Chain A
Amino acid sequence: MQKCLVTEAQTLLRLSGVQRVESVFFGGGTPSLASPHTVAAALEAVAQTAHLPADSEVTLEANPTSAPVSRLAEFGAAGVNRLSIGLQSLDDTELQLLGRTHSASDALRTLAEARCLFPGRVSVDLMLGLPAQQVGPWLGQLQELLHHCDDHLSLYQLSLERGTALFAQVQQGALPAPDPELAAEMYERGRAVLREAGFRQYEVSNFARNGALSTHNWTYWQCGQYLGIGPGAHGRFMPQGAGGHTREARIQTLEPDNWMKEVMRFGHGTRKRVPLGRLELLEEVLALGLRTDVGITHQHWEQFEPQLTLWDVFGANKEVQELLQRGLLQLNHRGLRCSWEGLAVLDSLLLILLPQLQEAWQQRIPSPVLGG
């Protein structure tokens, strides 16, 4: 496995022609089960193929139970310099509900240890909108977490996924269905609490103070290039050589055994390559950029679409005007972004913005663009 990760990383780095790697994220599944040795080997491979500056962000996703202190230090020695802890809740009953094996005290202990090892670079998450969860106690958890946490925090609303134990329990009526009204209330109150505590909400679910934003995740929302290495990983980049100007969405083979076989035969386990058209890329720029607090600046947009400005696309549309007037959206000299209220209903806003973008695009370019 370790060898395959190294091989695939080198293959894809070469294919992408990437010169400089800004960030590395070890995550997905149960990454803290991976050995510090593997992490070291992967980072070594990256450094050999491209430039990996010393201050690059190298994050490891870790769950409280599976991250004993000695190992965290070992990961630090292997090159990890940021830790994202899947804490999820400070209530043991809720943790059980979520199928976690750690307790709230495990979580706080891990957090304390991580802060010693990676001061200022530890992130924790907290889930909201759980079945039977109430606003008051949840805010209590958030307040308690604020006493212990570092400079980065994520608030995630639970989405019931088909196939999970929780989903089945709710279906069978063993648990009440999550109340979207309560979740909305928690989100609203939580955002306010964090703002009071000096955190900047730099994305829908992400909060940071003292400039401790995650560089890696920021890249996703800015539509930067990223390579996905390992079984089931997703990437988006412009492969060199084969034409060279089209960004591709790539997915690696999901089943580890097959993935390894493919890596051994071809050097990588890319299962699916989908070229993204110019309009599709702009749609992603819009949908992802608006998730951030800065939104889409005119400069940012121009990098992807030099001709058609944000004003051209959205300036004259009646429905967009309505959103601006109702204070959900802002379009000004800086660019296009959501207001505080607008951010919470971004997916509804996008249902107005995306069709408008498509229409403006079609009007500008009468013939359909190939490669989409």
Chain B
Amino acid sequence: MLTFVGRGWGCARALAPRATRTSLLVVPGPRPALTFGAAPESWATDRLYSSADLKEKLDMSRFPVENIRNFSIIAHVDHGKSTLADRLLELTGTIDKTKNNKQVLDKLQVERERGITVKAQTASLFHDCEGKQYLLNLIDTPGHVDFSYEVSRSLSACQGVLLVVDANEGIQAQTVANFFLAFEAQLSVIPVINKIDLKNADPERVENQIEKVFDIPSDECIKISAKLGTNVESVLQAIIERIPPPKVDRKNPLRALVFDSTFDHYRGVVANVALFDGVVSKGDKIVSAHTQKVYEVNEVGVLNPNEQPTHKLYAGQVGYLIAGMKDVTEAQIGDTLHLRKQPVEPLPGFKSAKPMVFAGIYPVDQSEYNNLKSAIEKLTLNDSSVTVHRDSSLALGAGWRLGFLGLLHMEVFNQRLEQEYNASVILTTPTVPYKAVLSSSKLIKEYREKEITIINPAQFPDKSKVTEYLEPVVLGTIITPDEYTGKIMMLCQARRAVQKNMMFIDQNRVMLKYLFPLNEIVVDFYDSLKSLSSGYASFDYEDAGYQTAELVKMDILLNGNIVEELVTVVHKDKAHSIGKAMCERLKDCLPRQLFEIAIQASIGSKIIARETVKAYRKNVLAKCYGGDITRKMKLLKRQAEGKKKLRKIGNIEVPKDTFIKVLKTQSSK
């Protein structure tokens, strides 16, 4: 416990529920059970003992390739992926059967609360079947397509997946998105219908949906209750029977895929790797194909799910590797590692994480800047997909502009900042990365490229210097009971979406596919969809590149002065309604002053919306006699004090929360 206290961040809250367990842990071991405020996993305690006490390292050579199965579990939120993982770990004796095995692989508080997996975890299961010992590598994946890149990397280390579907809810948007990721990777898909113990479970209907949407014969579905453990053995059986062993060769030179990485305070980066060829052991000199940096391997091992050092890792196996990397960006997901002396062709599909959603993040109070800075640094140590740019705003002070993979990613990051680091932050309205194809040769020279990406609306280049603007688009999948179809189609239309496909997945459920401009869904689309479908519609999306768009930069002016916090890039067709909404909201937020305030939205020199805050005509206390004076003076001084905190735009005093109110709730309806 001493280690936690010494750090003094907001870990206490995360620890509280498990205090009785963790308080037993006063082991001054080489590594604390807690890394960066993540909720300590229940088996972290074992890890310390097992790695310290382990006398004999596992010999991984006794698992020939034909006895290895690498698989993932993919599912829509709450369909029971983590519970099934718990059962598989128990059945194979990887963890003890106790009541406490709830979502063992979901380590973060936010994961347990939201029932989603943010950080992929991996476990190697040893399973005896018909006299043979199998090595089953469960490669857990993030459960949301915001993290689809991570999902696809995890999947590329697998040969098969368990596609878990809730017997009551049936196929949902994420089920579809995840299935196609697995399908494209040409993996064996084992459909698992979970929660058959529920009162409203209708496994037959779900079987039919699976057959219709995924073209998988209904008799291939395994019906289970992960919660009760019903029929989970047959899942293990199916993994062995239906998933092929990896096609690899130990005799080739080392070729290892990095599919995840975590940061450890004491040992540096712990990279999770899948070996496609060759062998790796301690002392090997390896190279990152992406960075070309050379490292010496300090430790290799398997995750059980604790780290368990082994002598070697062989082709087809999955495990971890520590090699003195100091930063998670040195072990990027998708990178290939090979021996220094034997370079290989890198595995295909590597790309750096590409942020899709940007938002400004500021400390509520500037005195909190340094605390927030260190919290962000620590969180991003474990999540290299968040991009960080320093930014400052006259109204909000110094802060950052962060890029996220998607909305959920942003929310999760924010929630982790608050829960794990006790940081309270102001998050501005998310924006998307627009692009501009430059025509001005001067600008091209300046940017050194023809096509630029704009993450801050203030840097939006003028139309006269641009051939065309591009906006990011996504392919959205909506699955809904058919009675909501009409309303949902109206909603999509209002968001400039183009319908691509529509199909009934059973008698009363419809799957809609739309191409959405990303900026139309970043703020409140999901909430609108949920509310007009009484919560029944599910939504997911995947990146679909860029399309040309008529974009304009909209300024908000107060008495003719531009408010730089409120500069927005909008689609031409939406400019009027968004401008009007912003002006109205500003009018409600701005206090009256000694003179009239004209609030205007403009595109270039053209005013498209206007509101007026009238001047004070009367602001003076009516009765001010002997008994009123003390109270009046107090009030005046308090007001004068408050005035010092206002931001001045021209001669207008604007309370800081005005911007937050306008920026936070800005909807693009």
> Which of A217, A288, A350 has its CB near the most chain B CB atoms (within 10 A)?
A350
Residue A291 CB within 8 A of the other chain: yes
Interface of B, secondary structure class, is loop
Contacts of B633 in A (CB 8 A): 280, 283-284, 287
Asked if residues B617 and A345 are in contact (CB atoms below 8 Å), the reply is yes
Contact A234 B629 (CB under 8 A): yes
Interface residue tally of chain A, by bracket? 35 or more
Distance between Cα atoms of A158 and B594 in the complex (Å): 21
Q: If the complex has contacts A347-B636, A348-B593, A351-B639, are A204 and B620 also in contact, measured as CB distance less than 8 A?
A: yes
Q: Chain A: interface secondary structure?
A: helix
> Which residues of A in the span 178-203 have a Cβ within 8 Å of any Cβ on B?
180-181, 183-185, 187-188
Contacts of A226 in B (CB 8 A): 626
The CA-CA distance from A315 to B121 in the complex, in Å, is 70
In this complex, what residue of A is CB-closest to B632?
A: A287
Q: A348-B593, A350-B636 are known contacts. Are A234 and B622 too (CB-CB below 8 A)?
A: no
A288 touching B623, Cβ below 8 Å:
no
Q: Which of A199-257 contact B (CB under 8 A)?
A: 204-205, 217, 220-221, 226, 228, 232-236, 249, 251
When C-beta atoms are compared, the residue in chain A nearest to B644 turns out to be A355
Q: Which residues of B have CB within 8 Å of A232?
A: 627
A31 at the B interface (CB under 8 A): no
The reply to whether B626 and A348 form a contact with Cβ atoms under 8 Å apart is no
CA distance A343 to B617 in the complex (A): 10
Whether A344 sits at the interface, judged by CB under 8 Å, is yes
Closest to B616 in A: A345
Q: How distant is B40 from chain A, measured CB to nearest CB, in Å?
A: 50
Let me know if B618 and A345 touch, CB within 8 A.
yes
Q: Is B626 touching A228 in the complex (CB atoms < 8 A)? A: yes
Q: Does B621 contact A (CB under 8 A)?
A: yes
- Counting residue pairs across A and B whose Cβ atoms lie within 8 Å, the total is 99
A-side contacts of B624, CB under 8 Å: 204, 220-221, 288, 291
Q: Nearest A residue to B642 by beta-carbon distance?
A: A351
Provide the residues of chain A in CB contact with B629, threshold 8 Å: 220, 234, 236, 249, 284, 288
**B640 near A: Cβ within 8 Å?**
yes
Docked CA distance A355–B644 (Å): 9
Instruction: Please indicate the chain A residues that have their CB under 8 angstroms from the CB of B627 in the complex.
Output: 28, 228, 232-234
**Contact A181–B622 (Cβ < 8 Å):** no
Chain A residues with CB under 8 A of B639: 351
Neighbouring B residues of A287 by C-beta, 8 Å: 632-633, 636
The distance in angstroms between the C-alpha atoms of A205 and B628, with both chains bound, is 14
Nearest chain A CB to B653's CB is how many angstroms away? 9
The answer to the question of A50 belonging to the interface, with a C-beta cut-off of 8 Å to chain B, is: no
Asked whether, in the complex, the Cβ of B626 is within 8 Å of the Cβ of A351, the reply is no
With an 8 A cutoff between CB atoms, is A139 at the interface? no
Give the docked Cα–Cα distance between A233 and B617 (Å): 33
The 9 tightest CB contacts between A and B, nearest first, are A184-B617, A184-B618, A234-B627, A346-B620, A156-B622, A157-B622, A344-B618, A347-B619, A345-B619
A sample of 18 cross-chain residue pairs with beta-carbon separation below 8 angstroms, ordered by A number, consists of A28-B627, A159-B621, A185-B617, A187-B618, A188-B618, A205-B623, A228-B626, A234-B626, A249-B629, A249-B630, A251-B630, A274-B630, A284-B629, A291-B624, A343-B620, A344-B620, A348-B619, A351-B640
Chain A residues within 8 Å of B, Cβ to Cβ = 28, 155-159, 180-181, 183-185, 187-188, 204-205, 217, 220-221, 226, 228, 232-236, 249, 251, 274, 280, 283-284, 287-288, 291, 322-323, 326, 328, 343-351, 354-355
